[in-house]
């Protein structure tokens, strides 16, 4: 035992120092340093540091070695046993820039993890959605934009405000859908209803919107009343698999992530069933370049049951049916920007979040938001919007120029 400032500080053994150095070398970037619980700093080379992983307890070494991916880091960080000094997103960007180890064993593990996913019942889906989206509308109001859009925004320029960028996203989606007044639109997974309300108010369409988050549906119905469009938007608290009726347009923004590949065929059948002969649609989802299981920490703590598909998997939802993909756009860097806005607002309200939940919750969400910034920046995640139509329909916009025309 050493003495420092009158407190007893546990010493660092030779083995611990060797293992901590090994952790540093696994990260392999000289801009990251490790600080041990006795204040001792380990580094590779002499470049100025971007961040320091501060191991407050010796067990963090074992946490990180046993779970070298996000799980060890996430749990240690959330508990406060691990501190990260410096800009958290910047540190994580450096980590994500190191390619994952794609050994044959690792690939086999990933394949096994993907294989053992099973089709979830409506009840499982509801529990997974409840875990995240029913944390309380007040909580989300602390850091989302005024319309409560919790999906990637569209920034016409990088300096557009978050409020304007969410509105621009609604408009971008509505234009890709080529909405005509009087058309019937079904939305699968409508969040707090802001896109549905926008389409009904500004494009003269009749919207039926599905969601299984009871908190979100309650809020969306209130908004419809407050905005006087109750007659034009119906919010149904139900699963996308129970969509009934025939529509001209199908839209789903940020739901596919929660569907899981085991249910893609069912989703494809729903879209096929509910669209008429000139049906069109758009699916907006987080995706990945390579087929991989979800990040294990995100899967455990933030989004149980979630999965980010490849573009081939997204197209595969549609391809068994008579649909042609008309337009795909990757908005990855727009999601990085969106998350930067959310994190900034979250940090401003961190004290209020901590009063409502606890410190651990604040740290978990800080890590989730920062990690997501890093993941989109490093291209671990993509954001694809796929617009499609009945293959045999020729009622289509002639070019995409109308997406970029100034508003009338």
Contacts of 5 (CB under 8 A, 6+ apart): none
Q: Which of 327, 345, 352, 357 binds a second copy (CB under 8 A)?
A: 327
Q: Does 98 bind a second copy (CB under 8 A)?
A: no
Q: Which of 26, 107, 328, 351 binds a second copy (CB under 8 A)?
A: 328
Tokens of 135: 């944390």
Cα Dmax for the chain: 80
Q: Does 378 bind a second copy (CB under 8 A)?
A: yes
Contact segment (CB under 8 A) with a second copy among 185-193, 276-284, 295-303, 397-405 equals: 397-405
Q: Does 341 bind a second copy (CB under 8 A)?
A: no
For residues 74 and 47, the answer to whether their CB atoms sit within 8 Å is no
Q: Does 329 bind a second copy (CB under 8 A)?
A: yes
- From the CA atom positions of the chain, what is the Rg in Å? 23
Q: Does 379 bind a second copy (CB under 8 A)?
A: yes
Q: How many residues at the interface with a second copy, by CB under 8 A? A: 41
For residues 235 and 224, the answer to whether their CB atoms sit within 8 Å is yes
For residues 107 and 250, the answer to whether their CB atoms sit within 8 Å is no
Packing angle between helix 70-79 and helix 59-66, nearest 10 degrees?
Answer: 150
Q: Which of 114, 315, 350, 352 binds a second copy (CB under 8 A)?
A: 315
Burial class of 256 by CB neighbour count within 10 A (0 to 12, 13 to 18, 19+): buried
Q: Does 8 bind a second copy (CB under 8 A)?
A: no
Q: Does 401 bind a second copy (CB under 8 A)?
A: yes
The CB-of-92 to a second copy minimum distance in angstroms stands at 15
**What is the three-class DSSP state of 325?**
strand
Q: Does 394 bind a second copy (CB under 8 A)?
A: yes
Q: Are strands 323-330 and 275-287 parallel, antiparallel or unpaired?
A: unpaired
Task: Considering the complex, state which of residue 143 and residue 376 has its C-beta at the smaller distance from a second copy.
Answer: 376
For residues 38 and 2, the answer to whether their CB atoms sit within 8 Å is yes
Task: Considering the complex, state which of residue 18 and residue 395 has its C-beta at the smaller distance from a second copy.
Answer: 395
The CB-of-319 to a second copy minimum distance in angstroms stands at 6
For residues 60 and 80, the answer to whether their CB atoms sit within 8 Å is no
For 219, other C-beta atoms within 10 Å of its C-beta total 20
For residues 27 and 95, the answer to whether their CB atoms sit within 8 Å is yes
Q: Which of 258, 292, 332, 366 binds a second copy (CB under 8 A)?
A: 332
Task: Considering the complex, state which of residue 48 and residue 158 has its C-beta at the smaller distance from a second copy.
Answer: 158
Contact segment (CB under 8 A) with a second copy among 107-115, 218-226, 258-266, 319-327 equals: 319-327
Distance of CA 305 to the CA centre of its chain: 13
Helices (runs of H) and strands (runs of E) counted in the chain: 17, 13
Task: Considering the complex, state which of residue 126 and residue 291 has its C-beta at the smaller distance from a second copy.
Answer: 291
The CB-of-332 to a second copy minimum distance in angstroms stands at 7
Q: Which of 26, 122, 289, 351 binds a second copy (CB under 8 A)?
A: 289
Q: Does 322 bind a second copy (CB under 8 A)?
A: yes
Q: Which of 137, 214, 299, 310 binds a second copy (CB under 8 A)?
A: 310
Element (H, E) at 16: helix 14-27
Contact segment (CB under 8 A) with a second copy among 123-131, 152-160, 195-203, 359-367 equals: 152-160
For residues 45 and 56, the answer to whether their CB atoms sit within 8 Å is no
Residues that bind a second copy (CB under 8 A): 97, 154-158, 289-290, 310-312, 315-316, 319, 322-330, 332-333, 377-379, 382, 384, 391-394, 396, 398-401, 403-404
């Amino acid at each position: 035992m050493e003495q420092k400032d009158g407190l007893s500080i546990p010493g660092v053994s030779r083995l611990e120092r060797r293992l901590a150095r090994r952790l540093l070398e696994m990260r392999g970037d000289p801009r990251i340093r490790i600080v041990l619980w006795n204040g001792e700093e380990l580094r590779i080379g002499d470049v100025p540091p971007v961040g320091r992983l501060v191991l407050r307890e010796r067990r963090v070494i074992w946490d990180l070695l046993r779970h070298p991916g996000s799980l060890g880091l996430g749990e240690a960080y959330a508990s406060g046993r691990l501190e990260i000094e410096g800009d958290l997103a910047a540190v994580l960007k450096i980590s994500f820039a190191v390619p994952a180890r794609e050994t044959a064993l690792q690939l086999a593990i990933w394949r096994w993890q993907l294989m053992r996913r099973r089709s979830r019942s409506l009840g499982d889906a509801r529990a997974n959605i409840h875990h995240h989206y029913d944390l309380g509308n007040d909580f989300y109001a602390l850091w989302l934009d005024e319309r409560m859009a919790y999906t990637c925004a569209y920034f016409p320029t990088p300096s557009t405000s978050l409020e304007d960028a969410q509105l621009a996203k609604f408009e971008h989606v509505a234009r890709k859908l080529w909405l005509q007044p009087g058309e019937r639109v079904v939305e699968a997974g409508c969040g707090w209803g802001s896109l549905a309300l926008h389409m009904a108010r500004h494009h003269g369409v009749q919207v039926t919107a599905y969601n299984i988050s009871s908190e979100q549906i309650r809020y969306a119905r209130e908004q419809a009343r407050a905005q006087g469009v109750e007659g034009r938007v119906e919010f149904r608290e139900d699963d996308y698999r129970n969509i009934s009726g025939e529509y001209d347009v199908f839209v789903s923004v940020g739901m596919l992530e929660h569907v899981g590949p085991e249910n893609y065929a069912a989703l494809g059948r729903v879209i096929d069933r509910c669209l008429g002969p000139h049906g069109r649609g758009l699916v907006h989802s987080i995706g990945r370049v390579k087929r991989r299981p979800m990040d294990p920490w995100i899967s455990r703590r933030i989004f149980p049951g979630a999965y980010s598909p490849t573009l081939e998997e997204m197209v595969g939802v549609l391809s068994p049916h008579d649909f042609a993909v008309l337009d795909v756009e990757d908005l990855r860097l727009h999601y990085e920007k969106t998350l930067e806005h959310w994190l900034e607002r979250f940090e401003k309200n961190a004290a209020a979040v901590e009063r409502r939940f606890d410190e651990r919750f604040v740290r978990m969400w800080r890590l989730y938001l920062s990690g997501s910034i890093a993941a989109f920046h490093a291209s671990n995640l993509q954001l694809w919007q796929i617009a499609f139509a009945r293959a045999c329909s020729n009622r289509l916009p002639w070019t995409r120029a109308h997406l970029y025309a100034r508003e009338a």
